[in-house]
């Protein structure tokens, strides 16, 4: 659980540049030119101070106001920045560069997108043919605002060609490379910026982001450390260094950095969320909950905070509160796949499988490349003993992530359940190759198999619908030439479905002393039960026309008697020797069990069908 990094704010801010100043500003002072030069090389504090001196000397110096306005943005003083840029425009009407800077200020200050884009389009119209590095940069910034990235990149490049020491342009172009996932090109531009001004914090921060994206965590931390060394108030650098520490499982350092961010920007709900994640990883759930509560207080409309808090409620074994938060997250953002995923987990843990599957299927719809959506849907089908569907979902999870060890080991179990032991062995080996632990065990000679097809509960329910027909029967077993009535024995009736037929055929072919074949737990629920009377008689009433399967497990103890030898007497009767043997009768019991079953078809509604369930021809057992 980690907040997505979107902290590239300063890399998007103004670069003024050209030949030292832009002719479009008209008459300007040497101090304003100096301020511009300082700004271009990333010496922001000095640029702001020098611009103030220029303004104090000449209240009509448009370039000085523009430089000071851009510098104010580095301290998040957007209102002051906007005021200075608007002043520059009043002093230099029709200045396309100032229009572009103001458009960017609107965007960074969270003003309406429409206003930002309107102002940017005006800037573009006022800069048809840039002549200086500054004008190319300004137009590039306007193109960026209206999302014309190709044109923006071309103008940033031209600006750098005209002024190779233009650190702000290099940083901005590097940020565009970063956004386009061209990390190596981004790192090259940020490194050039650092070589020009090794004390400028932003290129370190931006290069750290690229390293973080490449999972080069030590290098990222080194760059973030440089950024906060040169700008201790650089909250975003503290934030992203905490992210890197968290990924390295250096939780105490991460907590310290997130706490620093909160000190600098106490209304940063992302910092509370992310610090909460670290507490969560340390199983300090109460502290995590406190941070998530604060994040929700600061921004009650942010769906992910409710997901994070919901996860914590789950760990605290409070599933109803977890569901409440996850429902709220989905209400706020119905396309938030993680919210559906976590809600699926809650239902799965509660064994509410249909709801869990609904949520996992929604994850698959919203994020079809998410392997875990298929994995968890496979778990549900697996637990419902829908083994073919489970295997299909595990297949998809492996297709999307061939190192998903849990998909392999669970697919192995599913294959085993339908009798495909060969493929199960292959999958378990793959699981072990990926780092899974499979302990050596003794061999279990008894196998349990299930049909590979999927049970259709709607079809079974329909098969048990009410009708006017009746099945009456009697059940007996024959042993030692004697009849034994199935007195008090449970009799079950199933509607015949393709799943049941597959089970019956599989049992007929594969069941033996070492193998048992079962129906799924769900299939076993769709049945009618009754109990035979003392003569083994039973009845099922209210049936509709259709095919049924009736089964009895007739288990009982048979009383038997054995003659036991106890000894003998011997006596001599003249020439004849007489021997007398002595015996007594001893009663004992023998456990008997017989599976009695039959398919029965009712063709017309209102029909009464009479049947006998027996393990042999027993005329006296007939109904």
What DSSP character marks residue 526? Answer: S
Does the pLDDT value for residue 196 go beyond 50?
A: yes
Query: Contact at 8 Å (CB) between 418 and 449?
Result: yes
Does the pLDDT value for residue 173 go beyond 60?
A: yes
427, 498, 457, 494: which is closest to 353 by C-alpha?
A: 457
- Note the pLDDT of residue 18: 35
Give the pLDDT mean for 568-581: 73
329, 357, 326, 331: which is closest to 343 by C-alpha?
A: 326
The pLDDT tens digits of the residues spanning 3-45 come to 544 444 333 333 333 333 444 566 678 999 899 888 888 888 9
Show me where the domains of the chain are located. 1-180, 371-441, 457-621
Q: Count CB-CB contacts under 10 A for residue 289.
A: 19
pLDDT above 70 covers a percentage of the chain that reads: 91
Residue 402: both structure tokens together? 């061939």
- Note the pLDDT of residue 572: 67
Does the pLDDT value for residue 443 go beyond 90?
A: no
Query: Contact at 8 Å (CB) between 245 and 253?
Result: yes
Give the pLDDT mean for 50-66: 94
Give the pLDDT mean for 47-54: 94
The larger pLDDT score, comparing residue 195 to residue 4, is at: 195
The larger pLDDT score, comparing residue 398 to residue 613, is at: 398
Diameter of the chain by CA atoms? 160
The pLDDT tens digits of the residues spanning 481-532 come to 788 888 999 999 999 999 999 999 999 999 888 899 999 999 999 999 999 9
- Note the pLDDT of residue 432: 92
Give the pLDDT mean for 363-387: 96
Residue 157: both structure tokens together? 């490049």
For domain 371-441, give the fold: 1.25.40
Say how far apart CA 245 and CA 427 lie, in whole Å.
35
Please tell me the CATH code under which domain 457-621 is placed. 2.60.40.10
Instruction: Using only the alpha carbons of the chain, give its radius of gyration.
Output: 40
What DSSP character marks residue 512? Answer: B
Q: How confident is the model at residue 113 (pLDDT cuts 50, 70, 90)?
A: confident
- Note the pLDDT of residue 12: 30
- Rounded to two decimals, the pTM is 0.75
The answer as to CATH 2.60.120.260 being correct for domain 1-180 is: no
Task: Show Cβ contacts of residue 389 under 8 Å, excluding neighbours closer than 6 positions.
Answer: 378, 381, 454
The pLDDT tens digits of the residues spanning 579-602 come to 777 676 777 677 788 899 999 999
Does the pLDDT value for residue 67 go beyond 60?
A: yes
Q: Quick check: do 1-180 and 457-621 share a fold? A: no
φ, ψ dihedrals at 511, nearest 5°: -75, 135
H/E element, 504: helix 498-510
Say how far apart CA 330 and CA 484 lie, in whole Å.
62
Does the pLDDT value for residue 280 go beyond 80?
A: yes
């Amino acid at each position: 659980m980690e907040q997505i990094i979107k902290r590239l704010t300063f890399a998007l801010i103004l670069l003024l540049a050209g030949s030292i100043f832009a002719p479009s500003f008209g008459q300007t002072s040497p101090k304003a030119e100096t301020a511009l030069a300082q700004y271009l090389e990333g010496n922001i504090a000095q640029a702001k101070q020098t611009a103030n001196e220029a303004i104090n000397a000449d209240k009509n110096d448009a370039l000085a106001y523009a430089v000071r306005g851009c510098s104010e943005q580095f301290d998040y003083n957007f209102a002051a920045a906007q005021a200075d840029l608007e002043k520059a425009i009043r002093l230099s009407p029709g200045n396309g560069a100032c229009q572009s800077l103001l458009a960017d200020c609107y965007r960074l200050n969270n003003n309406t997108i429409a206003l930002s884009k309107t102002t940017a389009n005006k800037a573009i119209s006022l800069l048809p043919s840039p002549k200086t590095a500054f004008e190319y940069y300004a137009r590039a910034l306007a193109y960026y605002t209206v999302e014309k990235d190709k044109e923006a990149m071309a103008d940033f490049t031209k600006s750098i060609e005209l002024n190779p020491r233009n650190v702000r342009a290099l940083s901005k172009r590097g940020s565009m490379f970063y956004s386009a996932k061209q990390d190596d090109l981004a790192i090259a531009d940020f490194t050039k910026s650092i070589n020009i001004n090794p004390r400028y914090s932003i290129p370190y921060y931006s290069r750290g982001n690229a390293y973080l994206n490449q999972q080069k965590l030590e290098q990222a931390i080194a760059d973030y450390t440089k950024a906060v060394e040169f700008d201790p108030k650089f909250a975003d650098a503290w934030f992203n260094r905490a992210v890197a520490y968290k990924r390295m499982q250096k939780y105490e350092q991460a907590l310290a950095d997130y706490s620093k961010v909160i000190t600098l920007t106490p209304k940063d709900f992302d910092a509370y969320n992310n610090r909460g994640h670290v507490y969560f990883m340390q199983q300090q759930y109460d502290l995590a909950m406190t941070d998530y509560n604060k994040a929700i207080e600061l921004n009650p409309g942010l769906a992910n905070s409710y997901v994070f808090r919901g996860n914590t409620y789950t760990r605290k074994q409070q599933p109803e509160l977890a569901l409440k938060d996850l429902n709220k997250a989905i209400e706020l953002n119905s396309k938030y796949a993680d919210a559906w995923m976590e809600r699926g987990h809650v239902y799965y843990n509660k064994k509410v499988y249909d709801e869990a599957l609904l949520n996992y299927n929604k994850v698959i719809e919203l994020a079809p490349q998410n392997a875990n959506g298929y994995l968890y849907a496979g778990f549900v089908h697996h637990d419902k003993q829908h083994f073919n569907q489970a295997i299909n979902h595990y297949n998809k999870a492996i297709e999307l992530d061939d190192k998903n060890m849990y998909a392999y080991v669970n697919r192995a179990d599913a294959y085993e359940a339908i009798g495909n032991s060969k493929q199960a062995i292959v999958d378990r080996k793959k699981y072990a190759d990926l780092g899974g632990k499979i302990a050596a065990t003794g061999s279990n000679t008894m196998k349990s198999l299930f049909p590979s097809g999927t049970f259709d509960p709607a079809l079974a329910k329909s098969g048990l619908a009410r009708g006017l027909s009746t099945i009456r029967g009697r059940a007996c077993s024959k042993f030692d030439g004697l009849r034994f009535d199935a007195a008090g024995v449970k009799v079950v009736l199933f509607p015949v479905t393709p799943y049941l037929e597959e089970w019956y055929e599989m049992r007929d072919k594969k069941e033996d002393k070492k193998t048992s074949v079962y129906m799924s737990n769900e299939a076993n629920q769709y049945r009618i039960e009754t109990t035979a009377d003392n003569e083994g008689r039973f009845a099922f009433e209210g049936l509709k026309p259709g095919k049924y399967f009736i089964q009895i497990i007739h288990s009982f103890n048979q009383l038997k008697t054995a003659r036991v030898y106890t000894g003998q007497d011997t006596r001599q009767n003249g020439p004849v020797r007489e021997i007398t043997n002595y015996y007594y009768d001893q009663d004992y019991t023998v456990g008997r069990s017989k599976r009695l079953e039959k398919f029965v078809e009712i063709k017309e509604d209102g029909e009464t069908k009479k049947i006998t369930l027996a393990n042999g021809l027993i005329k006296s057992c007939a109904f």
